[in-house]
Structure 1
Amino acid sequence: MRRRGPVFEKANGWIRFCELVMFPLTRILGRRSFEGMEHVAVPGPVLAVANHISQLDPIYTAVYLRQSGRIPHIMAKASLFKIPVIGRTLTGTGMIPVERGGGHGQIGLNAAIASLNAGHMVLIYPDGTVTRDPDNWPMKPRPGVAAMAMAGDFPVVPVVHWGTQDVYVPYVKGGFHPFPRKDIRVVAGPPVDLSAFRGKPVDARLLRDVSYVIQGAVRDLLAQVRGVPAPVEFYDQKKADRLKARAEAAENPDR
């Protein structure tokens, strides 16, 4: 396996096993193209922030970041850690479980910040799930990404995927279409400039503003990769659900 960049973190047995499986898999599932790797192939803590358009994204992101020489510590749903074999693999490779609801999300956030403080690379999907945007743009971000970004003065690097949504179509039964093989691009951009926010009191408003700046960088990089203009506003799932409910109520006033 060819390593790129000036940094190479030594892998344990679990990571080497995943490399043997996942590196060839990303080539089988599509014609992959990895670009901008110099932005993540740097020493010390790095927060990688990616868009999420398919359940295949974590596989491609992990391989991309690993090929840069870094070992990615990916924030993943805690429920995955309870699945036999998969859970043990996630733990062995240093993934970070994130609980949802009940105030437990802070535990995963603290673990991610501790990982960054230890000099690791952490990957987060600010959407929190595969995007529901009809055109596959990033959604309104969760504030956790900003809390992590403001926990230290380290690079916050946008990473985007495009093409994985054509191989595994999210939320569609029978949506796995590996053939004919598709082009899959993973691209990293330059670190997000957060200098205007450094040194300011961290409150809810600052976290909101920082999260929008970070997600905006992801959206704009994706627009470059896609070659189309980016939307002005982020898709808001809660807002969309409310509008849908109102429309259904208007169409069925007697229900």
Structure 2
Amino acid sequence: MTDGSYDDQEAEVNGQRRTEGPRPRRGFWFGLVVVIVKPFMLFWTKRDFRGMQNLPRTGGMVFVTNHISHFDPFVLGLYIWECRRIPRLLGKASLFKLPIAGRIITSAGQIPVYRDSAEAADAFRAAVAAVEKGECVGVYPEGTITRDQELWPMTGKTGAARIALLTGCPVIPIANWGAQEVFASYGSMRIRLLPRKTMRVLAGEPVDLSAFQGRPITTELLHEATEAIMNRVAGELGVLRGETPPKELFDPRNQPEDEETR
């Protein structure tokens, strides 16, 4: 890691060459995040990063990923940074209200999501504006950590599909696995750093949304496009895990309100 805005050195992650070329200008606050997070991740975790060639080097894009732990945003952030892009993740608005961390992630350009409020549409508008400016926007379509007992992705919300169909940008499906071994997020809240865990991330080729383009953006269309997106994320996760994903993804809307899902 250099102190400047660029790093032209060629490097490899587990034998796979990273995207080459200069890093983007990161600004002070995102640079501060990199200086804090990257050394921590390199020291305390191992990496198995694949499919990095599938992220466009330039231009607006949306990447979508599964959510298995409160730790996986750090993993995904490092992965995207190693792909020579600056991630702009959509996250819960409550995180942006934390005394110190909230100031940092806000200044680093991350996008707060206000649920069930008059400001709920602000995140969507901010994400569309970022994509139209050529930025790399990250969305957790599930909206929360998966409740699937086997940690497969759940059905997704339609925000990523709406952004993609409105802007015409590519949607990159990314699967991550291993963060749950550091911080399970359910049950015990202990962070387990030793022995060092391997953070596995795989980006697939862009989701084919051609069947949905050029049509009126209806609720039904968005749900169909979102299903296609989540099935791709589940498929990439199946590759990482060496397992076959379920034919139907867990839908939390079908669960009784008083059911303990985990």
Global fold match (TM > 0.5):
yes
| Higher-Rg member (1/2) | 1
Q: Superposed, which structure 2 residues align to 1:179-194 within 5 Å?
A: 179-194=194-209
Residues 237/15 of structure 1: CA separation in 2 closer, same or farther (3 Å cut): same
1:98 pairs, out of 108, 113, 136, with 113
> What is aligned with 2:164?
149
Q: CA 1:7 to 1:213, structure 2 compared with 1: closer, same or farther past 3 Å?
A: farther
Deviation at 1:40, TM superposition (A): 1.4
CA–CA distance in 1 between the matches of 2:197 and 2:166? 38
- Output the CA distance in 2 between the equivalents of 1:239 and 1:211: 17
In the other structure, the counterpart of 1:127 is: 142
Q: Which residue in the other structure is 1:107 paired with? A: 122
Confirm or deny: 8 A CA contact 1:74 1:124 kept in the other structure. Answer: yes
Gaps in structure 2 of 5+ consecutive residues: 2-6, 9-18
* SS of alignment partner, residue 149 of structure 2: coil
Matched, 1:55 2:67: no
- Could you tell me how far 1:229 is from its partner in structure 2? 0.6
**Could you say if the C-alpha distance between residues 197 and 19 of structure 1 is closer, same or farther in structure 2, counting changes exceeding 3 Å?**
same
Answering whether residue 102 of structure 2 is matched by residue 87 of structure 1, we say yes
**How do residues 188-227 of structure 1 correspond to structure 2 at under 5 angstroms?**
188-227=203-242
- TM-score, reference length from structure 2: 0.89
Deviation, structure 1 residue 79:
1.0
* Residue 89 of structure 1, CA deviation: 0.6
Correspondence 1:17 to 2:32: yes
Aligned partner of 2:25: which letter? K
Letter in 2 for 1:238: R
Shift of 1:62: 0.8
8 A contact 1:48–1:156 mirrored in 2 = yes
**Mapping 1:68-83, distance limit 5 Å:** 68-83=83-98
Alignment map for 1:31-50 (pairs within 5 Å): 31-50=46-65
CA root-mean-square deviation: 1.6
What secondary structure does 1:169 align onto? Answer: coil
Tell me what 2:253 maps to.
238
Contact 2:155 / 2:250 at 8 angstroms: preserved in 1? Answer: yes
Q: Deviations over 1:2-26 (max 9, x none)?
A: 5633463111111111111111122
CA-to-aligned-CA distance 1:124-146 (integer Å, 9 cap, x gap): 00000111111001111011121
Residue pair 2:235, 2:245 contacting (<8 A) in 1 also = yes
Aligned partners of 1:6 and 1:41 also within 8 Å: no
Gapped regions of structure 1 (runs ≥ 5):
246-255
2:174 to 154, 159, 163: 159
Identity fraction in percent: 35
Provide TM-score, normalisation by structure 1: 0.91
| Matched pairs, number | 245
CA distance in 2, matches of 1:230, 1:187: 15
Residues 103 and 5 of structure 1: is their aligned pair in 2 closer, same or farther, counting only changes over 3 Å? farther
Cα separation, partners in 2 of 1:142 and 1:103, compared to 1, 3 Å:
farther
Which is worse superposed, 178-187 or 122-131?
178-187
Deviation, structure 1 residue 28? 2.9
Q: Provide closer, same or farther for how the CA distance between residues 183 and 205 of structure 1 changes in structure 2, counting only shifts above 3 A.
A: same
Distance 1:236 1:81 in 2: 28
Q: Conserved in 1, the CA contact under 8 Å of 2:201 and 2:240?
A: no
User: Which amino acid letter does the alignment assign opposite residue 162 of structure 1?
Assistant: W
Q: 1:7 touches 1:42 (CA, 8 Å); kept in 2? A: no
Structure 1 CA distance, aligned partners of 2:259 and 2:99?
Answer: 38
Following superposition, the deviation at residue 105 of structure 1 comes to: 2.1
The superposition leaves residues 18-71 of structure 1 with CA deviations (integer Å, 9 ceiling, x where unpaired) of 111111122233211211111114210010101110111111111110111111
